[in-house]
Amino acid sequence: AQSVAQPEDQVNVAEGNPLTVKCTYSVSGNPYLFWYVQYPNRGLQFLLKYITGDNLVKGSYGFEAEFNKSQTSFHLKKPSALVSDSALYFCAVRDFANDYKLSFGAGTTVTVRA
Amino acid sequence: GAGVSQTPSNKVTEKGKYVELRCDPISGHTALYWYRQSLGQGPEFLIYFQGTGAADDSGLPNDRFFAVRPEGSVSTLKIQRTERGDSAMYLCASSYRTEPLSDYTFGSGTRLTVV
């Protein structure tokens, strides 16, 4: 079965500093990996995905993620965090056998302090 | 419409009551999905529709949960004899196709509270 793990429940950074949200995955076959963001009382917003190709994926709002096959990781990064980036972030993997199904991590709460 | 619309945004019901949650997907999206997000957890898959039929309902927790999509557009998630453990955010998403290249668009969710 496909799964992702987000080892940190919370990440706190100062505005202007780099932001990293960690994700590791476990899949059989090719990984289809995603990052979503959720603001309070809102649905999920798509940030970026890795299907194939370049290991560095660029997404919305200045976010990027690096796919690392040897470390089975797909960490989300932003070079300079904003207070408005404070939200709940989810890593997810699409099931290889049933590729309509997303399996999500437990989420990481990001707080960016001014 | 421009996005996936879910109604109501909030629903409070008494234990044992029946509830219906509605999802109106993006026009033209043939695939529709329901997920449940409990407090402090990531969303969990409930059911997937391709057109009018439920292609995979393996995530529905028990037979109190049922979902329909009679005309291949709007979907309704129905919960009978609600229990306090059903309290969660219920998310709907739609997509044009199902392969990984096709992105989901999520609605804002319905927060269900069973008291």
B104/A43 touch (CB, cutoff 8 Å), yes or no: no
Chain A contacts of B40, Cβ < 8 Å? 106-107
Return residues 48-67 of A near B (CB < 8 Å).
Answer: 49, 51
CA B31 to chain A, closest CA, distance in angstroms equals 9
Q: Which one, of A15, A34, A13, A12, lies nearest residue A23 by Cα? A: A34
pLDDT score at B103? 80
CA A64 to chain B, closest CA, distance in angstroms equals 17
Return residues 29-88 of B near A (CB < 8 Å).
Answer: 31, 33, 35, 40-45, 48, 55-56
Q: How many CA atoms lie within 13 A of A109 on its CB side?
A: 8
DSSP state of B104: P
DSSP code string of A10-57:
EEEEETTS-EEE--EEE-SSS-EEEEEEE-TT--EEEEEEESSS-SEE
A46/B111 touch (CB, cutoff 8 Å), yes or no: no
Give the C-alpha separation, B62 to A5, whole Å.
Answer: 26
pLDDT at B20 over 60: yes
Beta bridge partners of B21: B77
B4/A43 touch (CB, cutoff 8 Å), yes or no: yes
b/e map A23-44, b = 16+ CB within 10 Å: bbbebeeebbbbbbbbeeebbb
Secondary structure percentages of chain B, helix, strand, coil, to 5: 5, 50, 50
Tell me: the pLDDT tens digits for B47-86? 999 999 999 999 999 999 999 999 999 999 999 999 999 9
Residue of A nearest to B10 (CA): A41
A100/B55 touch (CB, cutoff 8 Å), yes or no: yes
Report the residue from B42, B56, B101 with minimal CB separation from A98. Answer: B56
Tell me: the pLDDT tens digits for A22-56? 999 998 888 899 999 999 877 899 999 998 889 99
pLDDT score at B104? 87
Tell me: the pLDDT tens digits for A62-79? 999 999 999 999 999 999
Supply the Cα-derived Rg of chain A in whole angstroms.
13
pLDDT at B1 over 60: no
Average the pLDDT over B15-29 and give the result: 96
Tokens of A11: 């990440």
Average the pLDDT over A84-96 and give the result: 92
pLDDT higher at B22 or B99:
B22
Q: Which one, of A19, A16, A20, A114, lies nearest residue A73 by Cα? A: A20
A85 phi and psi, to 5 degrees? -80, -5
Residue of B nearest to A107 (CA): B42
pLDDT score at A62? 95
Supply the Cα-derived Rg of chain B in whole angstroms.
13
In the structure, what pLDDT confidence band is assigned to residue B98 with cuts at 50, 70 and 90?
low
pLDDT score at A63? 97
